[in-house]
Structure 1
Amino acid sequence: MKRLPLLVFGGALTAMAAPVAASEVTITVTDLRNTKGVVRACMTTKEDIFPKCIKDPASHRTVVPAGEKVTITFKGVKPGNYAIALLHDENDDGKANRALGMMPKEGYGFSRDAPVRMAPPKFKDAVFEHGEEAQSLTIKMRYFL
């Protein structure tokens, strides 16, 4: 059995232990019905809590002013499988307002434009893979009322 020089072996260990590069995810939000309030965005890898990723302390979250053109950039995103939830919080009260207790009054959107039926989409319908390269996504804001 041939022995590898210690220097080469040590270098291989260093390469294997190198941290995974983080990059950016940029979201372009389309079809806002007005420029009132803010757009709340959160991105998580946690299937069991999606779309309420505020329960994930490692999630990426931000709030930006609503406008004719809304762009959101999450920096330092490690490779993995993520899902994004958006809320057009028109009255900026920090919650998704509902009519008759269940129908959303404000806009919402999800990565992969995951369909909304009688409830928010499942993680598997909104999930996308993020690698080491910067990534751009477009999410259409939808309104029930």
Structure 2
Amino acid sequence: MVLSGAAEPAGVDVTVTVAEIRSTKGVVRACMTTDAGKFPRCRGVAGAHSAVVPAKGSVTLTFTGVQPGRYAIALLHDENSNGKADRALGMMPKEGFGFSRDAKVQMGPPKFGDAVFEVGAAPVRQSIRMRYML
């Protein structure tokens, strides 16, 4: 017997605590995606989750209704609230950044596989340290 109109599972919460934010200027932008090819971007990615919260020394944000899967999170401390990652000399980030699993940066953002974590039936918590190059 096939049931039509069955509701999709509600999903779980993924709560992210961001530490070591150097100032209260601007906002913290968060992107959570399953798309390894687009990571660390979220804009225009189907099924991606994003959030923007005011910057302070430590912030906590929660993505709700997250379906099971493999996700990675990218953070930006957008200190001037211009909606983009500002760079010095065209390459080096001028603003803070961070990634799930505290993935390290080496000549560019980490690969999806370095930041990926599993979401299943239970809520997930991630702690990410904001990093600054300048």
Query: What range describes the TM-score normalised by the shorter chain of this pair?
Result: over 0.9
Residue of structure 2 equivalent to 1:130: 119
Q: Which runs of 5+ in 1 are unaligned?
A: 1-9
TM-score of the aligned structures, taking structure 2 as reference length: 0.93
2:57 aligns with one of 62, 68, 74: 68
More helix by share: 1
Which SS does the other structure have where 1:54 is aligned?
coil
Distance in 1, Cα, partners of 2:25 & 2:90: 22
Distance in 2, Cα, partners of 1:141 & 1:100: 21
CA shift for structure 1 position 20? 3.8
Residue of structure 1 equivalent to 2:85: 96
Structure 1's consecutive aligned runs of 4 or more residues displaced over 3 angstroms after TM superposition are 17-21
Residue of structure 1 equivalent to 2:71: 82
> Sequence identity, in percent?
61
TM-score of the aligned structures, taking structure 1 as reference length: 0.86
Distance in 2, Cα, partners of 1:61 & 1:115: 21
Q: Which runs of 5+ in 2 are unaligned?
A: none
Q: In the alignment, residue 126 of structure 2 is paired with which amino acid?
A: L
| Cα RMSD after superposing both structures | 1.4
Distance in 2, Cα, partners of 1:21 & 1:74: 12
Residue of structure 1 equivalent to 2:44: 55
Distance in 2, Cα, partners of 1:21 & 1:80: 14
Residue of structure 1 equivalent to 2:110: 121
Which SS does the other structure have where 1:49 is aligned?
coil
Distance in 2, Cα, partners of 1:72 & 1:121: 22
Q: In the alignment, residue 31 of structure 1 is paired with which amino acid?
A: E
Residue of structure 2 equivalent to 1:36: 25
Which SS does the other structure have where 1:125 is aligned?
helix
Which SS does the other structure have where 1:82 is aligned?
strand
Q: In the alignment, residue 52 of structure 1 is paired with which amino acid?
A: R
